[in-house]
Amino acid sequence: MSLTAEGGRIVSADIEIADSFLSKLLGLMFRKSFAGALIFDMGRVTYDGIHMLFVRFPIDVVFLDPDRRIVDLKENVRPWVGTAFPKSRFMYAIELPAGTIAKVDLKAGEKLEW
């Protein structure tokens, strides 16, 4: 399964879904590297944010509404001490390797598919 943006642009060819309590709790914590996309399904619309505790590398974060449209983007969130809170409510958060948002040219309002 892959993550694609409008126009068929590939955001990531390798995705993981974090939809259980444990997978959402752990996220990217304790990993040495990451090359894919980790999609958090929050199960509801929320204002919750992302923390970087025990994450060893910077990441980009994309926040999506229930229709999978981008509501906010955070680039190069700092490892260990960074946080990412969206400007508005979201249902999905996608963690990507740092630089992916710029490389793929993702924009607010765009729809993503997986």
Whether residue 68 is contained in a domain is answered as yes
Domain that holds residue 92: 3-109
Is residue 114 a part of any domain in this protein? no
Q: pLDDT digits over 13-26, tens only?
A: 999 999 899 898 88
Decide if 20 is inside a domain.
Answer: yes
CA distances from 24 to 8, 81, 88 (A): 28, 18, 20
In tens, the pLDDT along 60-96 reads 999 999 999 999 999 999 999 989 999 999 999 999 9
Rounded mean pLDDT of the chain? 95
Instruction: Name 83's Cβ contacts closer than 8 Å, sequence gap at least 6.
Output: 49, 50, 51, 52, 77
| Strand 59-64, strand 90-97: pairing | antiparallel
Give the pLDDT confidence of 24-63 residue by residue, as tens digits.
888 999 898 889 999 999 999 999 999 999 999 999 999 9
- In 3D, which of 28, 17, 20 has the Cα closest to residue 51? 28
CATH number of 101's domain: 2.60.120.1140
The partner residues of 83 in beta bridges, in order of sequence, read 51
pLDDT of 1 over the 90 cut: no
pTM: 0.93
Q: Are 78 and 52 in contact (CB under 8 A)?
A: yes
- pLDDT at residue 26 in the model: 87
Counted domains in the chain? 1
